[in-house]
Chains A and B, each alone.
Chain A
Amino acid sequence: MAAEQSATGYIVHHLTHWRLETDGFWSGFHLDTFWVSLALGFVFAGVFGMVARRATSGVPGRLQNFVELIVEMVDSQIKDAFHGKSKVIGPLSLTIFVWVFLMNSMDFLPVDMLPVAAQAIGHYAFGMDPHHVYQRVVPTADVNMTFALSLSVLLVIIGFSIKAKGIGGWIKELLTKPFHAEGLALSIVLAPVNLVFQAIELLAKPISLSLRLFGNMYAGELIFILIALLPFWAQWVLGAPWAIFHILIVTLQAFVFMMLTIVYLSLAVEDH
């Protein structure tokens, strides 16, 4: 914390996204979220892909063992919770778990590390004003990222429903459940009510998924920023326990996101 910079200024600077342009349509495009998540996606794909290519059916090495452990964990969760057949759900769940875990894990880095590095690069390489170089580190603390994930999951949920029940069956379910009537007239009356209920049920899924993850990670990041405002000799008192506690949150949130995706997809293919 520098004297000329207020605490509010510090926090606001930390919570401001690096945008493609300062105003206009593309100002909504968060470059920092984009590049960090992309890089972590490459880390995931690179490591897992390399291990998969080099995998042996004999005794696995450390890294293969680790990857197998994660894949096995995801697979057993799917076997427990998903009662259908799908080639998509395994890779989807694995990607969600590992990617979200990696993105959440960015919280472990010292809160100023990447922003200060970005400021240094911006200042010395591109001659920018360091106060206008913004870099947020945790992609899942950006509501755009979590909604991108959960809306994709929503599309997959709708896809699974249509595949399992047919487009007619899905539309029929939207109109006839949860309230089922015997007569035609009553059915027509109830159809809009059912549609509203189904729409709420469907939309509640991505909203709860993304807001849960976003809320947890945003709060975590904010607390790291607040801890960074303490005198440097006192930071570890709160920072270390919070970081250690965060190991749990990071893993748990990644797991919950994956698990709920599996459960939602399972509900989508079942007749309820």
Chain B
Amino acid sequence: MELNASLIGQAITFAILVWFTMKFVWPPLTRMMDERAARIADGLAAADRAKQDLANAERASADRLREAKQQAAELIAQAEKRAAQIVEEAKDQAKVEGERLVKGAQAEVDQQVQQAKEVLRQQVATLAVAGAEKILKQEIDAAKHADLLASIQAEL
């Protein structure tokens, strides 16, 4: 074993190799690893964000669903109320209409009764006059007693 100048020569060579590695081999490697780490970190962050987004979306959709359900319930209640109202109104209308119809019919009936009465009265008057005529044929001159006959007719 001996230590000699070869040691220095090899040390220089080794130093150059170390320098070369530091300068040209190590930086691309570390850059690649840093990029990889950054990519992984980004990926994990993105995953977290996506998870958060998903939770938010789920919460929002649940809210929306509850709102919609509430709205639907309100609409149904309103519709039911309105339907009841319409039925009520229709009932009222029908009642009024019925009453009106009844009243009209009553009036018509009254009128017809009146007419019938009138006709009857006239017929009775005519009959009475005719009777009276027959009874009084001899004594009563139609022309002479026209006034009298007319007043009787009016009274009947």
Contacts and interface: CB of A to CB of B under 8 A. Distances in A.
Interface of A: 1-2, 5, 58-60, 62, 65-66, 68-69, 108-113, 116, 119-120, 123, 130-131, 133, 227-228, 230-236, 239-240, 243-244, 247
B20 to A, nearest CB: 5
B11 A2 contact: no
Contact of B10 (A120, A123, A130, A235): A235
A224 to B, nearest CB: 9
B37 A59 contact: yes
Given A227-B13, A239-B13, A116 B37 contact: no
Contacts of B37: 59-60, 62, 65
B13 A236 contact: yes
Contact of A110 (B4, B10, B29): B10
Contact of B33 (A66, A113, A240, A243): A66
Given A2-B4, A60-B40, A240 B20 contact: yes
Interface of B: 1-14, 16-17, 20-21, 25, 29-30, 32-33, 36-37, 40-41, 44
A51 B2 CA distance: 41
Contacts of B44: 58-59
Given A116-B1, A239-B9, 19 more contacts: A2-B4, A59-B40, A62-B33, A108-B14, A108-B17, A110-B7, A110-B13, A110-B14, A111-B10, A230-B9, A232-B5, A232-B8, A232-B9, A239-B16, A240-B13, A240-B16, A240-B17, A243-B13, A247-B21
A232 B6 contact: yes
A14 to B, nearest CB: 11
> Can you list the 3 inter-chain pairs with the closest CB atoms, starting with the nearest?
A232-B9, A130-B1, A235-B9
Contacts of A130: 1-2
A33 to B, nearest CB: 21
A65 B29 CA distance: 11
Contacts of B7: 110, 112, 116, 232
B25 to A, nearest CB: 6
A171 B82 CA distance: 91
- Candidate in A233, A234, A235 with the most chain B CB atoms within 10 angstroms: A235
Contact of B1 (A66, A133, A228): A133
A230 B10 CA distance: 10
Contact of B9 (A2, A58, A113, A234): A234
A65 B1 CA distance: 43
